Structure 1
């Protein structure tokens, strides 16, 4: 089994997320995400390229190779399973789990991860609603739309959170909104596209346009 350094794994995971969002990953975007100097980024990309994990071209950007993507998906799987474990079994709040899972994701023992998956009952999503890849790397993304698109009086179920910063998750806690919440749009305001919502038939709150765009739902 090939072993990777923590730094290499962090690069692969970050490239994976950026590539899914925008295709070819620019060096500057990678430097911003990793809070690293562009020169260091270039050195690591050359190293990963020699290992066959990324396709890299100077002044153009990079993408993951098939083997690089497989490794990145494995890291994502470990991270999200640990988040689920921390939330469901140890009582961590959903704004706390990410930082701890960042450390645990580098435990790459496949037998341990497979047993963890089975112990948890093969969960499909993590505490933020992100899909958890299965043991073969397959990812099932549920069909969903932004809460901002929901019409007045309509009801839906919260399935995923886009912006998962601790500040946003803490705000959603205060508004009693979480994965699985039943949410209804009471009123939408044309002026700033904000809205009033009712959650689980009892909690009423006000959401800005930006916040509602980061809450995903299924009807």
Structure 2
């Protein structure tokens, strides 16, 4: 399969195409390609039975397509772990490099890489790494808007967005740290929360969807 086809399958998955119908416009926007290009590629993926198509509604991944998409994501996330843990790249730097490596890595290499890394379950951003069979364990998480003031929470996963990750790094906001929500959707448009020693942090309402959390008791 070509790298371009792999990118299409991965984007359809990331847009929710495992369960929902994804429009050509959504795919085109995500990949910054024309509507004609999306239509052409969708026809190829449909012919190869990687996607299912509902006229005038959109496409979603077939069972075959879902397995393949997860295998691409597996390669990407394992490379991200390697780049951060063993080559010293920041979590805001690993995405572009992993994008290139995922397309040139055979399964035998990825399986050896997984073994070398000690079988990690998540990547540097907290996203679950699919298994060798192309299956991904679902993890139940919440968003900040589901909390009430005073709730404790742990950040479990963040969106792989370079600018946002750089902001989190600058503010020393890390995964697995315990925080307390102290103000929800403030007048300035922020969620305010504090760590265990009282330092206060903020995330804008606009960026709040980029964080998945676990509510602590």
Cα distance in 2 for partners of 1:69, 1:108 equals 19
1:123 aligns with 2:89: no
1:44 is displaced (CA, Å) by: 1.2
1:209 is displaced (CA, Å) by: 2.2
1:22 is displaced (CA, Å) by: 7.1
What residue ranges of structure 2 are gaps of 5+ in the alignment? Answer: none
Residues 46, 56 of structure 1: 8 Å contact kept: no
125, 144, 163: which one pairs with 1:167?
163
Residues 26, 60 of structure 1: 8 Å contact kept: yes
What is residue 191 of structure 2 aligned with on the other side?
195
What is residue 68 of structure 2 aligned with on the other side?
71
Residues 121, 129 of structure 2: 8 Å contact kept: yes
What residue ranges of structure 1 are gaps of 5+ in the alignment? Answer: none
Cα distance in 2 for partners of 1:185, 1:92 equals 30
Q: Secondary structure at the match of 1:9?
A: helix
Tell me which stretches of 4 or more aligned residues in structure 1 moved more than 4 Å: none
Superposed CA offset, 1:17-48 (max 9, x none): 22348711111111111111111111111112
Cα distance in 2 for partners of 1:188, 1:176 equals 20
Residues 185, 205 of structure 2: 8 Å contact kept: no
Give the structure-2-normalised TM-score.
Answer: 0.89
Give the structure-1-normalised TM-score.
Answer: 0.88
1:211 aligns with 2:207: yes
Cα distance in 1 for partners of 2:17, 2:60 equals 10
Q: What is the number of equivalent residue pairs in this alignment?
A: 215
Superposed CA offset, 1:183-211 (max 9, x none): 12233455456332223525322332233
